[in-house]
Copies of this chain bind each other. A is one copy, B any other.
Amino acid sequence: MRASQFFISTLKEAPADAEVVSHKLMLRAGLIKRVSAGIYTYMPMGLRVIRKVEQIIREEMNRAGAIELLMPVIQPAELWQETGRWDKMGPELMRVKDRHDRDFIVQPTSEEVITDVARSEIKSYRQLPLNFYHIQTKFRDERRPRFGVMRGREFTMKDAYSFHANQADLAREYQNMYDAYTRIFTRLGLNFRAVAADNGAIGGSGSHEFHVIAETGEDVLAYCPQSSYGANLEQAEAHSLLATRAAPAQPLAKTATPGQSKCEAVAAYLQLPLTQTVKSIVLAVDEADETGKITPRIWLLLLRGDHELNEVKVGKVPGLAGFRFATEVEIMAHFGCIPGYLGPLQTQQPVQLVVDRTVANMSDFVCGANAADYHYTGVNWGRDLPEPEIIADLRNVTAGEPSPDGAGTIALCRGIEVGHVFQLGTRYSVAMKATFLDEQGKPQPLLMGCYGIGVTRLLGAAIEQNHDERGMIWPTAMAPFTVALCPVGYDRNEMVKTATDQLYTALQAAGLEVLLDDRGERPGAMFADMELLGIPHRITLGERGLKEGLVEYVQRAHIQQEPCKLGLDQVLPALLAALAPIQPVSH
């Protein structure tokens, strides 16, 4: 493609409201243009990247045996009422009425429509398994759209839905999709990690998230570099860091800790390790009695001083679903003390105690004394307190602790979720009466899996992972063009023009996607644009070099290095050699 026949529109500065680097760079490079909050036009350069991503997804989905179809953007409310999502989903579900005042939604996903297809099309186990997917525009009315395409409102998603006669077959297809996703993100050239995920609201059993690793990611991932273990921090199981509980060695003592309300401060003041302290977290669950009267039940959670509360895990403790943090009034009423000095001993009113696994094995520990400016030291289970009744995993895992699979130690990194595979089970098929006849001729609900990839989000994630101060550094498979040809003096120097045109023709004939910068820009502006755009390979042609038959070649990823000089006929072989390793492996 000649730049003069394409549309390149770059900016020196990014608009001030762009918060993250990918958003800034996509605006600066002219990949997207804002239409409304979280709604973008994908400009020609951006659309080329989308098409590359879509093509790789399509190839691998087809290879995995999934069948492409296309479900509509506007979907009737009736289907969403059948599954209850019409009522359950909040304002992020965009609702619209047609001219006859009938309710519709702008689809965020398509479980309902595909289940409607399945219930009319699938009669018998003989038709199973089936896996349908589409790549389609989605809408999610985010309260605060931001981060450009990473949390937009209108976005493109690939969503697949599989149907099975039994759990074993669902598990098989789940692994098949997991493998396809692994191939997709590998082919895209991204550093990624699949982690076990919390199912969240969507329900079902078994789910993994695929994350692009990036320092700016919103999610924290726990993984084991020595094994395949990986989980979203929300989900990663934390075992007790103390295998057994040591016998008490200290007497219980009420110790003055004036003004020391945080565990770190208490430990420093008492010259004890932080791991000897226990923090108290007070929660409330509002419980309604038969008359509808709501009474808050107060819970006290104990965590080791150096540990962080994991709210997802807390919500799974029986009785704690829907918890909230207690108010100061509630705390005063139950503990007779201000926050900062709370503990399990001598509470003013009874509270429900939940103890983290590690705390349950601690001895001689320090905790608040339910009196301002005082802590107890030398606290011991069974002696100063009853043995804990409820022991649960309440904390985030930490870097360096043993991996739950016993194969090494935990490391943490940040990631951007770009894919998700779920075993949905019968959540939708039961609600919508989507059944098939089994081998005995008995109707059974279809077992379902669902598998999503955020196509447009991948652009942002890839840039968060691959950029420098000059701009984007596209992995070759995602790059809008593979090679930039930058002739110096194309519009005025016959030798440069001739050599450039010949090389352009030769590279195109070899199947490379070449962007010939024939705009007549000065070298500095030309290089800056190609670096901002992140074109992986750049060939510079100038009169001086060409007199010796030489051009300059530099890779975007190694832009700091001195360009290497190549003879004109070495360019194609050099590029092909550089591109060879990333060619997709045939499976």
* B99, A96: Cβ atoms closer than 8 Å: no
Given A98-B94, A98-B141, A143-B99, CB of A41 within 8 Å of CB of B70: yes
CB distance from A49 to the nearest CB of B (A): 11
Q: Which of B6, B96, B120 contacts A106 (CB 8 A)?
A: B96
Residues of B within 8 A of A6 (CB): 67
Contact call A44/B68, Cβ cutoff below 8 A: yes
Q: Could you say which residues of chain B place their CB within 8 Å of the CB of A98? A: 94, 141, 153
Within A64-95, the residues touching B (CB, 8 Å) are 65, 67-76, 79, 91-92, 94-95
List CB contacts (< 8 Å) of A44-75 with chain B: 44, 46-47, 50, 65, 67-75
By beta carbon, the residue of chain B nearest A96 is: B96
Number of interface residues of A (CB under 8 A): 51
Residue pair A154, B35 in contact (C-beta under 8 Å): no
Residues B141 and A99 in contact, CB atoms below 8 Å apart: yes
CB A100 to nearest CB in B, in angstroms, measures 9
Contact flags A551-566 to B (C-beta < 8 A → 1, else 0): 0000000000000000
In the complex, the answer to whether B75 meets A35 with C-beta atoms within 8 Å is yes
Interface: A43 (CB within 8 A): yes
Report whether A44 and B73 are in contact in the complex, using a CB–CB cutoff of 8 Å.
no
In the complex, A136 Cα to B154 Cα: how many Å?
13
Q: Which residues of B contact A44 (CB under 8 A)?
A: 67-69, 132
Contacts of A75 in B (CB 8 A): 35-36, 39
Contact with B along A1-13 (1 / 0, CB 8 A): 0000111010000
Instruction: Name the residue of chain B whose CB is nearest to the CB of A112.
Output: B35
A527 within 8 A of B: no
Q: Is the CB of B72 within 8 A of A73?
A: no
A332 interfacial contact with B, CB 8 Å:
no
B35 adjacent to A72 (CB under 8 Å): yes
Judge whether B91 and A99 touch: CB under 8 Å.
yes
**Closest residue to A76 on the B side, CB-wise?**
B36
CA of A76 to CA of B35, assembled, Å: 7
Whether the Cβ atoms of B47 and A153 lie closer than 8 Å is no
Which 6 residue pairs across A and B have the least CB separation, nearest first? Answer: A91-B99, A96-B96, A42-B70, A36-B76, A44-B67, A41-B71
Whether A41 lies near B69 (C-beta < 8 A) is yes
Which chain B positions have C-beta within 8 A of A69?
Answer: 7, 41-44, 46-47
A126-182 residues at the B interface, CB under 8 angstroms: 130, 132, 136-137, 139, 141, 143, 153-154
